Chain A
Amino acid sequence: MLSFTLQRIGKAVVVIIGVIILNFLLIKLAPGDPAAILAGEAGSGDPQYLENLRAQFGLDRPVPVQLWNYLSGVLTGDLGFSYRNQVPVLSLILERLPATLLLTGAAFAFSLATGVLFGVMAARYRGSALDSIITTLALVFYATPLFWIALMSVLLFSINLGWLPPFDMETIGAGYTGWRRALDIAHHLILPAVTLGLFYTAVYTRLTRASMLEVMGLDFVKTARAKGVPNKRIIRRHVLRNAVLPVFTFASMQAGQLVGGAILTETVFAWPGIGRLMFDALMQRDYPVLLGVFLVTAIVVVIVNFIADLLYRIVDPRIGIA
């Protein structure tokens, strides 16, 4: 297990360095000089000011030197300085990361739990009205734009019904602490997490259902059934475990994709996470922040995948350690 872990870490480092270089070069390809943009925003056109900015950001050096400086900075935990905010990138990201982890984590848990539940129900009562309803709903949510669901649910649950707060992560200025605050945040979390998770609920429902049906057709299930084991028990003891495991793995591989969706969700719900930080940085050509968000996202994705892998191996020892 240890050598497996070490090997995986080594591989992960290579992938992450690759991601950094890829993104760095991509951004260097981009038209648009961040210094000119900043100077323009400040309303100053004079070349000296531009020169100062470029020198300050290190943009006056050749690209390979810039890349090297950035890479060696990253290795020592220095992600650079935000052009616009004049704040270290790392502190900007760390300030916003928990909000995104909370949002995507909740959406992940929600979509996985509901997806597996509905998938199992649909498979268990295959061909029934329940199955049709679940399958149809899954198809519809699979095909509906996420931002559309977000806007509609704000309209319904916040404005018409007044049940849920339409934006923000907590009641600002309320000064709640402890449990009161946690409850408040949870209350604010419901809408964004559910809208972000619904698409994946649909995916996991379909996946679980298909996987269940596949396992139910396998020989050992048929044998158990022939032996007269009660249906409920077959489902619980034999089918579920074998059918749900691949769904779990697939889901953890997809976990990173939630961050992409978070850009939309965080915009609609004013959620102070890194999805929006990334989008704002992009719009303002604040490249160190953009690179930093990508790097941190990549690291989180690698860690999640790694944990999923590890769990999978523990749960299912048949898989050899590669």
Chain B
Amino acid sequence: MLRTLVRLATAAILACAPVAGPAMAQDAPAAEVTPGGALNMIVQPEPPMLIVGLNTQGPTLYVAGQIYQSLLTYDASLNPLPQLAKSWEVSEDGLTYTFSLQEGVKWHDGEPFTSADVVFAATEFLVDAHPRWRLIAEAYVESVTAPDDLTVVFKMKKPFSAFLYGFELSSFPIMPKHIYQGTDYRTNPANSTPIGTGPFKFKEWQRGSFIHLVRNEDYWKDGKPYLDELYFRVIPDAASRSIAFEQGTVDVLRGGDVEGFAIRTLTALPGVESTTAGWEYFSPQMFIQPNLRLEVFADRNIRKAMYHALDRDFIVNAIFFGQGKAARGPFSATTMFHDPDLQQYPFDMDLAKKLVAESGIDLSKHPIRLMGLPYGSTWDRLAEYVKQQLEELGFVVTIQAVDAGGWLQNIGSFNFDLAFNFLYQFGHPAQGVSRNYYSDNIVQGTHAGNNQAYANPEVDALFTKAADAVNQEDAAAAYTQVQEILAEDVPLLWTFDMQNTTIYRDKVKNLVRTAIGLNEPMDDVWIAK
């Protein structure tokens, strides 16, 4: 509760008073820094493209985060920090947001970066190509204007309490107007040579092999970046990736690059450090999604029984090798407004069986398909475990083997019984949580909507009330209430808050500094000689 209050207070200050963004904390003393050198990383899987305005998947963001930038970034407690915006002001009524831009910023091709680029992104490029920005823009944004070259003003139709939390790279990437305006963004020939404002420039991409970025000599932060080169290597096999780190071919492993057990071995090596920080903004939460259209899952007691039948500590510790924490509700523990005091469903097979017996439903008459996530052996083990537990409860379970394409297809067309899924919560519930429960978000073609078909008018109303609140305390009250309802309804089986471990050699300094972790421009990163 205390943590929430502190966060609320900070958020309230930021939202109500004109505040200049705080300076970047703890720059290493210049004397120690040894500039130069190449940093080797792995990008897994190989991204389809680097145009972050058109594709915001993890691998794309990881590489493109060094090329493109956004207006803001966030610290580990999700307070906004300056990036291309030097400072910002929010009017008292929450209807006007004014951003002042950094001076002397240039695109990689030498063109100046101005407020016109931001307006182009906000009103043209992203409205067309970015799924999340479009929804926000349509619902809340009245106009975006550029009174001068270094100022951008967003006028709102109505207040949106999460607005300031949607300006990092994955939510609001700024694309060069002089290259894209008036073209077909997807087929623009310039897509093969990305042009951004970031600390590193695109040099070469040998598909299937590596992506090579080099230092941007004209970067807008003087004397930075420290590194000369970045290599993002493509190594499709997980075991090979862990060998690559062990042998020193790469110096950094991003969360998900290697399997859980390898994390244990690798972090035990001498000269290796690790951190789970740098994912606070994304706060990925894994959940098991029952299709509520099925009669058996429509029964709330059956859902509760299933929840009780899963030993989520075993899942985290034995299957995911400690990479996570059992979830305590619909909001990840690192998402804003998380309520730690919700109703809990601990592992209790007897209670689970009792709930089933009371429901009077014969589970064996409702055979179900379990669709796991196609992301490697750990997820396969989870599917095998869940199948075992549910069969003990009385279900007849078939695991549906799907590849990534098949998974998206099935979940997006509601063709599933019980599915594994995980979603980024993007710091703020209005960005990344409510989309799972809004009854008007039961839409096909996405894995990130209300695919289970949960409909509760009270929940809809509370989420809207919280999002539209001017005052953060009103938002907090509504969010607490909605979490309580959801915890009682169990429309999803929130399984665990995923943790991602970044592993790196200790000679790599300043690697993870913000809530977006490795997607942050590495302009402060240096390698000790």
Give the interface of A toward B (CB within 8 A): 31-34, 36-37, 39-47, 49-50, 56, 81-82, 84-87, 92, 95-96, 99, 151, 154, 158-159, 166-169, 172-173, 266-273, 276-277, 280, 282-285
Q: Given contacts A86-B187, A158-B243, A167-B244, could you give 9 more A-B pairs where the C-beta distance is less than 8 Å? A: A36-B409, A36-B413, A36-B445, A37-B412, A44-B131, A46-B443, A166-B243, A173-B40, A272-B234
Determine the distance from Cα of A49 to Cα of B128 in the docked complex, in whole angstroms: 9
Pick from B55, B405, B411, B448: contact of A284, CB below 8 A.
B405
Asked if B234 and A270 make an inter-chain contact with CB atoms under 8 angstroms apart, the answer reads yes
User: For residue A87, which residue of chain B has the nearest CB?
Assistant: B192
Chain B positions within 8 Å of A271 at CB level: 208
Pick from B212, B403, B447: contact of A40, CB below 8 A.
B447
Asked if A39 and B445 make an inter-chain contact with CB atoms under 8 angstroms apart, the answer reads yes
Asked if A283 and B404 make an inter-chain contact with CB atoms under 8 angstroms apart, the answer reads yes
Chain A positions within 8 Å of B178 at CB level: none
User: For residue B206, which residue of chain A has the nearest CB?
Assistant: A272
Chain A positions within 8 Å of B234 at CB level: 270, 272
- 13 A-B pairs with CB atoms under 8 Å apart are A31-B409, A40-B408, A40-B411, A43-B448, A45-B443, A49-B131, A86-B51, A86-B186, A167-B240, A268-B240, A270-B237, A283-B404, A284-B48
Asked if A267 and B208 make an inter-chain contact with CB atoms under 8 angstroms apart, the answer reads no
Asked whether any CB of chain A lies closer than 8 Å to the CB of B70, the reply is no
Known: A40-B445, A172-B210, A268-B237. A86 touches B49 (CB 8 A): yes
What distance in Å separates the Cβ of A243 from its nearest Cβ neighbour in chain B? 40
Asked whether any CB of chain A lies closer than 8 Å to the CB of B236, the reply is yes
What distance in Å separates the Cβ of B145 from its nearest Cβ neighbour in chain A? 26
Chain A positions within 8 Å of B56 at CB level: 42-43
Asked if A283 and B210 make an inter-chain contact with CB atoms under 8 angstroms apart, the answer reads no
What 3 A-B pairs come out closest when comparing CB atoms?
A272-B208, A44-B131, A45-B446
Chain A positions within 8 Å of B38 at CB level: 173
Pick from B131, B243, B409: contact of A32, CB below 8 A.
B409
Chain B residues numbered 135-192 whose CB sits less than 8 Å from any CB in chain A: 186-187, 191-192
Determine the distance from Cα of A154 to Cα of B237 in the docked complex, in whole angstroms: 12
Chain A positions within 8 Å of B240 at CB level: 154, 166-167, 268-270
What distance in Å separates the Cβ of B488 from its nearest Cβ neighbour in chain A? 27
Determine the distance from Cα of A31 to Cα of B407 in the docked complex, in whole angstroms: 12
Chain B positions within 8 Å of A276 at CB level: 208, 236
Chain B positions within 8 Å of A37 at CB level: 405, 408-409, 412
Chain B positions within 8 Å of A47 at CB level: 444-445
Asked if B209 and A40 make an inter-chain contact with CB atoms under 8 angstroms apart, the answer reads no
Asked if B408 and A36 make an inter-chain contact with CB atoms under 8 angstroms apart, the answer reads yes
Chain A positions within 8 Å of B107 at CB level: none
What distance in Å separates the Cβ of B60 from its nearest Cβ neighbour in chain A? 10
What distance in Å separates the Cβ of B282 from its nearest Cβ neighbour in chain A? 13
Asked whether any CB of chain A lies closer than 8 Å to the CB of B391, the reply is no
* B interface residues, tally (CB under 8 Å): 54
Chain B positions within 8 Å of A50 at CB level: 445
Determine the distance from Cα of A82 to Cα of B46 in the docked complex, in whole angstroms: 15
Determine the distance from Cα of A269 to Cα of B239 in the docked complex, in whole angstroms: 10
What distance in Å separates the Cβ of B450 from its nearest Cβ neighbour in chain A? 10
Asked if A43 and B131 make an inter-chain contact with CB atoms under 8 angstroms apart, the answer reads yes
Chain A positions within 8 Å of B187 at CB level: 81, 86
> Could you say which of B206, B244, B445 has the most chain A C-beta atoms within 10 Å of its C-beta?
B445
Asked whether any CB of chain A lies closer than 8 Å to the CB of B381, the reply is no
User: For residue A95, which residue of chain B has the nearest CB?
Assistant: B207
Determine the distance from Cα of A74 to Cα of B208 in the docked complex, in whole angstroms: 24
Chain B positions within 8 Å of A32 at CB level: 405-406, 409
Asked whether any CB of chain A lies closer than 8 Å to the CB of B390, the reply is no
Give the interface of B toward A (CB within 8 A): 38, 40, 45-46, 48-49, 51, 54-57, 131-132, 134, 186-187, 191-192, 206-210, 212, 229, 231, 233-237, 239-240, 243-244, 247, 249, 374, 403-406, 408-409, 411-413, 443-449
Asked if B408 and A273 make an inter-chain contact with CB atoms under 8 angstroms apart, the answer reads no
Determine the distance from Cα of A85 to Cα of B57 in the docked complex, in whole angstroms: 13
Asked if B445 and A283 make an inter-chain contact with CB atoms under 8 angstroms apart, the answer reads no
Asked if B409 and A33 make an inter-chain contact with CB atoms under 8 angstroms apart, the answer reads yes
Chain B positions within 8 Å of A283 at CB level: 374, 403-405
Chain A positions within 8 Å of B413 at CB level: 36
User: For residue B191, which residue of chain A has the nearest CB?
Assistant: A86
Chain A positions within 8 Å of B57 at CB level: 41-42
Chain A positions within 8 Å of B54 at CB level: 86
Asked if A43 and B207 make an inter-chain contact with CB atoms under 8 angstroms apart, the answer reads no
What distance in Å separates the Cβ of A208 from its nearest Cβ neighbour in chain B? 34
Asked if A36 and B239 make an inter-chain contact with CB atoms under 8 angstroms apart, the answer reads no
User: For residue B42, which residue of chain A has the nearest CB?
Assistant: A270
Determine the distance from Cα of A272 to Cα of B46 in the docked complex, in whole angstroms: 11
Determine the distance from Cα of A151 to Cα of B235 in the docked complex, in whole angstroms: 15
Chain B positions within 8 Å of A34 at CB level: 405
What distance in Å separates the Cβ of B285 from its nearest Cβ neighbour in chain A? 15
Asked if A167 and B208 make an inter-chain contact with CB atoms under 8 angstroms apart, the answer reads no
Determine the distance from Cα of A285 to Cα of B403 in the docked complex, in whole angstroms: 10
Known: A36-B413, A86-B49. A285 touches B131 (CB 8 A): no
Determine the distance from Cα of A34 to Cα of B56 in the docked complex, in whole angstroms: 18
Asked if A154 and B243 make an inter-chain contact with CB atoms under 8 angstroms apart, the answer reads yes
Pick from A31, A85, A158: contact of B48, CB below 8 A.
A85
Determine the distance from Cα of A267 to Cα of B38 in the docked complex, in whole angstroms: 26
Asked if B192 and A96 make an inter-chain contact with CB atoms under 8 angstroms apart, the answer reads no
Asked if A86 and B207 make an inter-chain contact with CB atoms under 8 angstroms apart, the answer reads no
Asked if B131 and A42 make an inter-chain contact with CB atoms under 8 angstroms apart, the answer reads yes
Chain B positions within 8 Å of A40 at CB level: 408-409, 411-412, 445-447
Asked if A86 and B48 make an inter-chain contact with CB atoms under 8 angstroms apart, the answer reads yes
Chain B positions within 8 Å of A31 at CB level: 406, 409
Asked if A270 and B235 make an inter-chain contact with CB atoms under 8 angstroms apart, the answer reads yes
Determine the distance from Cα of A31 to Cα of B415 in the docked complex, in whole angstroms: 12
Determine the distance from Cα of A167 to Cα of B239 in the docked complex, in whole angstroms: 11
Chain B positions within 8 Å of A95 at CB level: 206-207
Chain B positions within 8 Å of A158 at CB level: 243
What distance in Å separates the Cβ of B372 from its nearest Cβ neighbour in chain A? 15
What distance in Å separates the Cβ of B246 from its nearest Cβ neighbour in chain A? 8
Determine the distance from Cα of A282 to Cα of B187 in the docked complex, in whole angstroms: 22
What distance in Å separates the Cβ of B514 from its nearest Cβ neighbour in chain A? 22
Chain B positions within 8 Å of A81 at CB level: 187
Asked if A273 and B244 make an inter-chain contact with CB atoms under 8 angstroms apart, the answer reads no
Known: A42-B131, A85-B48. A56 touches B186 (CB 8 A): yes
Chain B positions within 8 Å of A167 at CB level: 235, 237, 240, 243-244
Determine the distance from Cα of A285 to Cα of B186 in the docked complex, in whole angstroms: 18
